[in-house]
Amino acid sequence: MATFSSRRLTKELVALREECPAGITLLSTEDLKSWTLSLELLGESLFKGEVFALRFTFGSRYPIEAPEVVFVVNDKYKAPMHPHVYSNGHICASILGSEWSPVLNTSTICITLQSMLASCKKKERPEGNDRYVKNAPLSPKNTHFLYDDDSV
């Protein structure tokens, strides 16, 4: 249902072009369904000075269904060293899965991920990162994450 999601995405894009949350920049929108945003942490944190990029992919059922959100991993960007972020950029965050609600949007997802990084105590990969990355599906939406740790 392209019109249903594209109407909302158009409005979100307008709002993002007007004003992005602090530390978030809209890098590119190849089309309405795939956006790239950069993300950095402005305050004091373990990730100060690092810039990451997030790739949003919106399905035709957005916002009923959560978008696919991954950290870009290429020559320029790396995935942050965080216990909830795998080295291939996949993110284990409940708001992108079972806790998704249409009340969330691109900018709230970015802010939530910012605060997830900001509250990080120790830079490390999730347990079993290598195993996961080796077998991971192309889209993290096909992974069944268990959201067991609310503290980080």
Partner 1 sequence: MPPFASGSRWYSMSNANTAGSAKQHWPYDRPPTIKDLRTRTCWICLGESTPLTSRPKTRQGWIHACSCSLVAHESCLLAWIASAESASHSSPSKASRCPQCNTKYIIRSRKPLLLRILNRAYHYATVGYRAITVCAVISGAFHFYFGRELADIAWHTTDFLSVPLILLSSHTSVLNTILPFLPVLYMPASMLFPGGHGSLFPPPLTDAVNYPPSPALTLFMAPYIGMAYHFASNKVVSWISRKTPGGPHSYTRRNLVVHINRVAEEPDQNVLPNDLAPGIDNDGEEPDNFVPNNDEPPAAAVPADDPEPAGVNVIHLTEGYVLRLIVSTLLAPFVAPVCGELLKRLSKHSAVLRTVLGIDAARGIGKIGLRSNVTALSGPLAFLMPVGLQYDGRIEDMDPVWWRNALGLSLFVLISDATTMLHLWLALRERRSRTIMSRNFSGVDYSGLDLIVEDEESGNQGVAE
Indicate whether 17 belongs to the interface with partner 1 (CB under 8 A): yes
Smaller CB distance to partner 1: residue 36 or 112?
112
- Tell me: does residue 28 bind partner 1 (CB under 8 A): no
Q: Which of 41, 70, 79, 95 binds partner 1 (CB under 8 A)?
A: 95
Does residue 23 belong to the site contacting partner 1 (CB under 8 A)? Answer: no
When the beta carbons of 7 and 130 are compared against partner 1, the nearer one is 7
Q: Which two tokens stand for residue 146?
A: 């268990």
CB of 36 within 8 A of CB of 24?
no
SS3 label, residue 3: helix
Annotated active-site residue in 20, 92, 110, 120: 92
User: Could you say which of 28, 42, 48, 98 contacts partner 1 (CB under 8 A)?
Assistant: 98
What does the DSSP assignment read for 84-148?
Answer: TB-TTSBB--GGGTTT--TT--HHHHHHHHHHHHHT--S--PPTTHHHHHHH--SSGGGS-----
Residue 25 in the binding site for partner 1 (CB under 8 A): no
Interatomic CA distance for residues 89 and 149, integer angstroms: 19
Q: Which of 104, 118, 133, 136 binds partner 1 (CB under 8 A)?
A: 104
The dihedral built from the CA positions of residue 102, 72, 92 and 140, taken in this order, carries a sign that is positive
Bond preceding residue 63 cis, omega within 30 of 0: yes
Q: Catalytic residue at 92?
A: yes
Residues that bind partner 1 (CB under 8 A): 1-4, 6-8, 10-15, 17, 21, 31-32, 60-61, 63-65, 93-95, 97-105, 107-108, 111-112, 115-116, 144, 150, 152
Residues catalogued as catalytic: 92
